[in-house]
């Protein structure tokens, strides 16, 4: 199949809905009968078996909503490298507006398409798509869309790169959300470690060094020119407001803290934001804005896991520790002053035998490993936002979560869902490396297939507990089987990543970013029936990024679906042509409007 410009792939491969034999959480309010008269059932997609199927995008071809059947499929809006209205989708630009060059000297076009939102222009009322590219340097694109009034089909009209030069560029833009007030809230993941900056050359680790290209610098320079870079410029939430195609405003919210942001998700009160932190030994954060619809100032909190069970993915009561209040302007002032790690902390070397820290120093274990740190006098606010995870650990928060990914909300029951891609490392009980010198709050058995957790919220949208809802199951397949490359049961989830919810329909959508399924998948999970249905599979080596549900866009509903870097993580030998590596930004649907 020529996948360059196909618009719909809706292949019904198997009709039986897959019943999950997975680990299910029995607590909480997910069995609510809210909106019990509404229902949605997808036609299931089979697991790809042939090489042709494994190279294709397969998606549910039909859906039954409230008893009525509709034809749906996967629709490609854009692929990386597409030229639309004069703009090249995914072309990465530097601070001066010039294309960044790839290693071969060509213009660098990213295949790392990630989160994709639908929002309306505040001034012109037109429909726009904001798209992430998860690279260093990063990029976000704004694309004007046309919506067919008869069919609901979306078509790109023109696209362009959003200028981030005012805050020295973007960084590893991963997942995101749409705020209740209609702006796009995007992320910067895997913040660079300020402690590792070479004081002579300014170099940082190889993973991050390409940010130098944003400034027209040589990433491998040793002449000190890289000292102009500032690691604290990156690792933030970015809010994008669209007035029109030519009038787009992007703002970094420094008061929300600096971590490996997977995404921030705003609650219906327009003040509470949950923030997931991706990586090993990370934390779960909650931000309380001072003013509704305004994320420029507020109080930041970190969760503390108080374990109550180790079964079914584990469960815990949550308490919240304040990291203090701050404003964007206060934290931006620190960055502009070129504050350094050593300005914020004193450090000590842990005892080689006991792992203990010297008197006055806190023993913590975060993404950067076991450290002995002490916040310098008067630097608490700087530490809370520039070194949020480290400061959270010092204050007693839990920094043992592993690969924390997507967040979504069931507004009918006030239940939050958080995906943990792999239950491992700091989440294990007394892990020799990842619990070293830390409090060992989380004590769970390893599960390489991951768990989606539920969190019950109180009337103020504060999470009071956390428990496993649905988990993947490790499984070994015969070496001669078409499924031999799979290490997790193909009829269940594997390494859940982004999640989204269909309000009123008791349906959670779960996307994968996994090496334990050969082809990453998207699932629908019915909270009432506990039925899991496979609704999309993606080509070799890709991730299913950005499942995000929009229940009513001018009378139509859309389930956004982005396919990142085909052949990028595995099975490179299966690549039929360079063309097939281009990422997809698209959607499953269209559905009829599904507002409650």
Using alpha carbons only, give the angle 46, 47, 49 rounded to the nearest 5 degrees: 115
> For residue range 231-284, what is the model confidence (pLDDT) as tens digits?
999 999 999 999 999 999 999 999 999 999 999 999 999 999 999 999 999 999
Name the burial class of residue 480, with classes exposed (0-12), middle (13-18) and buried (19+) by CB atoms within 10 angstroms of its CB. exposed
Ramachandran region, residue 116 (left: φ > 0; alpha: ψ -120 to 50; beta: rest): beta
Report how far residue 241's alpha carbon sits from residue 117's, in angstroms, rounded to the nearest whole number.
12
Q: Residue 435 has what pLDDT?
A: 98
Helices (H), ranges, 203-337: 328-336
Q: Provide, rounded to the nearest whole percent, the portion of the chain with pLDDT above 90.
A: 93
110 token code pair: 């990213």
CA dihedral sign of residues 566, 470, 61, 8: negative
Q: What is the pLDDT of residue 553?
A: 98
pLDDT at 15: 31
**Residue-level pLDDT at 129:** 98
- Give the model's pLDDT for residue 158: 98
Radius of gyration of the chain (CA): 23
Average pLDDT rounded to a whole number, residues 407-420: 98
Q: What angle do CA 178, 462, 287 make, to 5 degrees?
A: 55
- Residue 443, pLDDT score: 98
Model confidence at 475: pLDDT above 50: yes
Residues 6+ apart with CB under 8 A from 375: 344, 345, 383, 391, 394
> Which residues, 6+ apart, have CB-to-CB distance to 473 below 8 Å?
21, 22, 23, 449, 488, 489, 492
- Tens digits of residue pLDDT in 68-107: 999 999 999 999 999 999 999 999 999 999 999 999 999 9
Q: What percent of the chain has pLDDT over 70?
A: 94
According to the 3-state scheme, what is the secondary structure of 89-125?
CCECECCCCCECECCCCCECECCCEEEEEEEECCCCC
Which candidate, 16, 51, 112, places its Cα nearest to that of 519?
Answer: 51
Distance between CA atoms of residues 196 and 230, nearest Å:
12
How many other C-beta atoms can be found within 10 angstroms of the C-beta atom of residue 16? Answer: 9
Instruction: Report the run of H or E that residue 391 belongs to, with start and end.
Output: helix 388-394
Candidates 2.120.10.30, 1.20.58.710, 3.90.1150.10, 3.40.50.1970; CATH matching 8-83+110-191+234-288+297-592: 2.120.10.30
Collapsing DSSP states into helix, strand and coil, what is residue 472? coil
Confidence at residue 37, expressed as pLDDT on a 0 to 100 scale: 75
**pLDDT per residue as tens digits for the range 15-64:** 333 333 333 333 344 444 444 579 999 999 999 999 999 999 999 999 99
pLDDT score at 415? 98
- Give the end-to-end CA distance of the chain in Å, rounded to a whole number: 38
- This prediction's pTM: 0.94
Residue 22: the pLDDT is: 32
Report whether pLDDT(568) > 60.
yes
The β-bridge relationship of strands 261-266 and 272-277 is antiparallel
d(CA 537, CA 285): 31
CA distances from 510 to 30, 502, 513 (A): 16, 11, 10
Does the pLDDT value for residue 176 go beyond 80? Answer: yes
Residue with token string 């990156």: 234
Number of H helices, E strands in the chain: 5, 37
Question: What pLDDT shows up at residue 596?
Answer: 58
> Do residues 147 and 556 lie in contact, with contact meaning Cβ atoms separated by under 8 Å?
yes
- Please tell me the predicted confidence (pLDDT) of residue 16: 33
Residue boundaries of the structural domains of the chain: 8-83+110-191+234-288+297-592
Instruction: Work out the average pLDDT over 305-333.
Output: 98
DSSP 510-545: EEE--SSSSS-EEEEEETTTTEEEEEEE--TT-EEE
The pLDDT assigned to 28 comes to 40
Rounded Cα–Cα distance for residues 531 and 528 (Å): 8
Rounded mean pLDDT, 467-495 = 97
User: How much is the pLDDT for 595?
Assistant: 84
SS3 helix, strand, coil % of the chain, rounded to 5? 10, 40, 50
Model pLDDT for residues 127-159, shown as the tens digit of each residue:
999 999 999 999 999 999 999 999 999 999 999
pLDDT at 540 over 50: yes
Indicate the average pLDDT of the chain. Answer: 94
């Amino acid at each position: 199949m020529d996948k360059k410009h196909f618009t719909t792939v809706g292949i019904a491969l198997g009709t039986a809905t897959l019943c999950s034999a997975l680990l299910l959480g029995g607590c909480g309010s997910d069995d609510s009968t809210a909106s019990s008269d509404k229902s949605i059932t997808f036609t299931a997609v089979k697991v790809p078996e042939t090489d042709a199927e494994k190279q294709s995008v397969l998606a549910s071809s039909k859906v039954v909503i409230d008893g009525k059947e509709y034809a749906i499929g996967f629709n490609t809006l854009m692929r990386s490298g597409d030229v639309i209205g004069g703009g090249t989708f995914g072309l990465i630009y530097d601070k001066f507006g010039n294309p960044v060059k790839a290693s071969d000297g060509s213009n660098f076009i990213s295949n790392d398409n990630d989160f994709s939102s639908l929002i309306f222009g505040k001034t012109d009322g037109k429909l726009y798509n904001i798209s992430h590219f998860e690279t260093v340097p990063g990029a976000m694109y704004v694309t004007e869309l046309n919506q067919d009034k008869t069919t609901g089909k979306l078509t790109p009209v023109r696209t362009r790169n959003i200028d981030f030069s005012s805050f020295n560029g973007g960084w590893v833009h991963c997942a995101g959300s749409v705020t209740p007030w209609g702006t796009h809230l995007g992320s910067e993941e895997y913040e660079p470690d300020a402690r590792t900056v070479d004081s002579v050359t300014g170099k940082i680790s190889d993973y991050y060094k390409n940010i130098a290209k944003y400034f027209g610098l040589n990433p491998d320079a040793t002449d000190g020119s890289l000292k102009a870079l500032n690691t604290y410029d990156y690792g933030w939430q970015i809010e994008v407001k669209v007035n029109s195609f030519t009038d787009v405003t992007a703002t970094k919210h420094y008061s929300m803290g600096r971590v490996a942001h997977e995404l921030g998700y705003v609650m219906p009160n327009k003040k509470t934001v949950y923030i997931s932190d991706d990586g090993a030994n990370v934390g779960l954060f909650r931000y309380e804005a001072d003013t509704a619809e305004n994320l420029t100032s507020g109080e930041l909190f970190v969760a503390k896991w108080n374990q109550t069970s180790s079964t079914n993915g584990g469960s815990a009561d949550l308490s919240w520790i304040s990291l203090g209040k701050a404003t964007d302007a206060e934290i931006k002032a620190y960055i502009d002053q070129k504050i350094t790690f050593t300005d914020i902390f004193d450090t000590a070397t842990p005892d080689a035998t006991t792992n203990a820290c010297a008197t006055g120093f806190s023993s913590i274990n975060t993404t950067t490993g076991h450290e002995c740190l002490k916040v310098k006098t008067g630097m608490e606010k700087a530490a809370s936002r520039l070194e949020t995870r480290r400061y959270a650990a010092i204050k007693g928060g839990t920094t043992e979560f592993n690969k924390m990914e997507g967040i979504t909300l069931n507004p009918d029951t006030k239940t939050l869902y958080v995906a943990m891609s792999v239950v491992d490392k700091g989440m294990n009980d007394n892990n020799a490396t990842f619990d070293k010198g830390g409090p060992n709050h989380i004590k769970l058995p390893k599960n390489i297939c991951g768990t989606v957790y539920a969190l019950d919220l109180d009337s103020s949208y504060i999470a009071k507990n956390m428990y496993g809802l649905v988990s993947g199951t490790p499984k070994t397949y015969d070496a001669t089987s078409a499924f031999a490359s799979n290490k997790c049961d193909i009829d269940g989830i594997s390494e859940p990543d982004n999640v989204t919810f269909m309000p009123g329909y008791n349906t959670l959508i779960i996307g994968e970013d996994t090496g334990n399924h050969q082809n990453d998948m998207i699932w629908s999970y019915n909270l009432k029936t506990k039925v899991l249905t496979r609704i999309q599979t993606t080509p070799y080596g890709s991730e299913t990024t950005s499942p995000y549900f929009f229940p009513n866009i001018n009378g139509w509903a859309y389930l956004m679906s982005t396919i990142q870097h085909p052949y990028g993580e595995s099975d490179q030998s299966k690549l039929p042509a360079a063309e097939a590596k281009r990422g997809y930004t698209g959607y499953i649907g269209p559905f009829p409007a599904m507002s409650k």
